[in-house]
Structure 1
Amino acid sequence: MSPTDLSSKTASTAAYSTPEPPPGGLCAIHQPNFFPRLSTLAKLFAADYWIVLDDVQFARRDYQHRARLAPLDNPADRRWLSIPTHLPQGRNTLIRDAVMAEPTRSRQRSARVLQQHYGASPHWPTLQQALVPILNAFTTSDRTAAVAEASTRALLDLLGWKGRVFRSSGLPARQGRSQRLADLAAAIGAQTYLCGTGGMHYLHPAPFAAHGITVIPFTTPDTGVWESGRTISAVRALMQVGRHRLASELRMATI
């Protein structure tokens, strides 16, 4: 089954390119994260397709509306950059329905805090340009998920990712955690599902096998630029080594 108009391609701003994803390639399914951690970004970068999981319950303790930043010279000095978010249906609010409480203020604070942390980096002009569509998302939509997805796509674009993006809310799937993920992957014609270390604790392979989909655990290194990759936003690594070096690191990440 070939991807349909439910999808969209990212427009790369990098000076190099990766091959067009083949039909039935690697699939990653992940919630929209605000300036995601390096480990999360690496999994999406390794995939041919990213299904944005936007129709599950919003979790305030997750990364859907916040990113953990750290300055270049001190990774231990961590702080949250958050988007104050209102949940119209309370705890039952889906990710796609969560609304920004202070979009203008959040836009200004995001731009200011990022510059404070990384403005001294020689790679800051690259990020500054990439921030334009992200900051615009604060004003073109009132949904937190729109900004979170825009921040992830901007980072993928900088790294030269040529994959395709889908949203789970536009795809058919049955109930049950593993069954749903398998159905989503099958709906776009994926043949392989990339599963993070957390997902491997609960994932049942039978629904994937029924679709003929192979499940591959995805892990990343834990040294060098990856040292804080599971806790700190990928923005710090990008500002440390630049987009070309970081793209090389992601291409070599373990699958």
Structure 2
Amino acid sequence: MSTPLTNVWSTPASPPASSPPEPAEPPGICAIHQPNLLPRLTTLAKIYAADCWIVLDDVQFNRRDYQHRTRLARLHDPGRQQWLSLATTLPIGRATVIRHARLADPGRCRRRLRQMTHDYYRTSPAWDVMQHLINGLDSLFDSTDLLTEITEASTLDMLRLLGWNGTVIRSCQLPARSGRSQRLADLAAQVGATTYLCGTGGMRYLDPAPFQKVSIVVLPFRHPDGPIWKYADRITSMWPILRWGLQAIKEELNPLSVRASGR
């Protein structure tokens, strides 16, 4: 017989110091996504539309994904793109999970992050706002060489900049069974979610059965169309924020949370 999972939104059976922090009430909608470096607008939009972001940090690190890198694009010529990558070392090789990945050369990564973002975007009238965000990330290199500390902060800082006030919890803090869809369903159930917001890529492989068993609705997430979204699934959110302005991006995102919740 399998051991039943304990919901973190119920009264904890262990001392508070060993349990994840509990919010005032469980979220209605959760999004589950790996921590990305200065993520794309499609990633930010999906999380923005949710009440809770479960940071998927206990799955295998993938060098071909956006976990340690992002694409920068020239402010007035977005076709000119370049990878900004943070060199990463994996303590146990390919089996290393995201939260155990470390920066191979923190000093060089720090300089690369600061210099490349400055070179690409300093001419934007809104650069001061983004520079403040980059300065905050820069200071983290003084205290950590864990990749996820930098990438998670870069995502959360951008969300806060756009006005998101949701809850964040790491998947490593939550019990979940194996199996791709089963794990996601368990994580969503752990935070008390009634709805799981799933991107178009995830919908291609998702098995709805584990979600149905715990009465969680799977809601496909699709971003709007329009000029702001033309490169949204490819380049960093820094580009649309600095190209179109922070207020314009907020106006694009605000209806998403309303639409996701059905209000």
TM-score exceeds 0.5: yes
* 3-state SS, counterpart of residue 198 of structure 1: helix
Aligned to 1:88: 91
Q: Which moved more, 1:222-231 or 1:244-253?
A: 244-253
Structure 2 alignment gaps of length 5 or more: 1-6, 13-18
* 3-state SS, counterpart of residue 142 of structure 2: helix
How many Å separate the matches in 1 of 2:206 and 2:113? 35
User: Is 2:242 the counterpart of 1:230?
Assistant: no
Instruction: State the AA in 2 paired with 1:196.
Output: G
Aligned to 1:161: 164
Aligned to 2:124: 121
User: Is 2:217 the counterpart of 1:214?
Assistant: yes
User: Is 2:78 the counterpart of 1:75?
Assistant: yes
Aligned to 1:131: 134
- Equivalenced residue count is 244
The C-alpha deviation readout for 1:2-33, integer Å capped at 9, x for no partner, is 38862599xxxxxxxxxxx9633110000000
Q: Which moved more, 1:191-200 or 1:131-140?
A: 131-140
How many Å separate the matches in 1 of 2:138 and 2:225? 31
**If you compute each CA radius of gyration, which structure gives the higher value, 1 or 2?**
2
1:31–1:53 Cα contact (<8 Å) kept:
yes
Structure 1 alignment gaps of length 5 or more: 10-20
The C-alpha deviation readout for 1:45-68, integer Å capped at 9, x for no partner, is 111000000000000000000000
Aligned to 1:6: 20
* 3-state SS, counterpart of residue 53 of structure 2: strand
* 3-state SS, counterpart of residue 141 of structure 2: helix
> Alpha-carbon deviation of 1:95?
0.3
| Closer, same or farther: CA 199–59 of 1 in aligned 2, 3 Å | same
> Alpha-carbon deviation of 1:138?
2.0
Alpha-carbon RMSD: 1.8
What is the aligned counterpart of 2:57 among 54, 60, 68?
Answer: 54
Instruction: State the AA in 2 paired with 1:202.
Output: Y
Identical pairs, percent: 49
> Alpha-carbon deviation of 1:118?
0.7
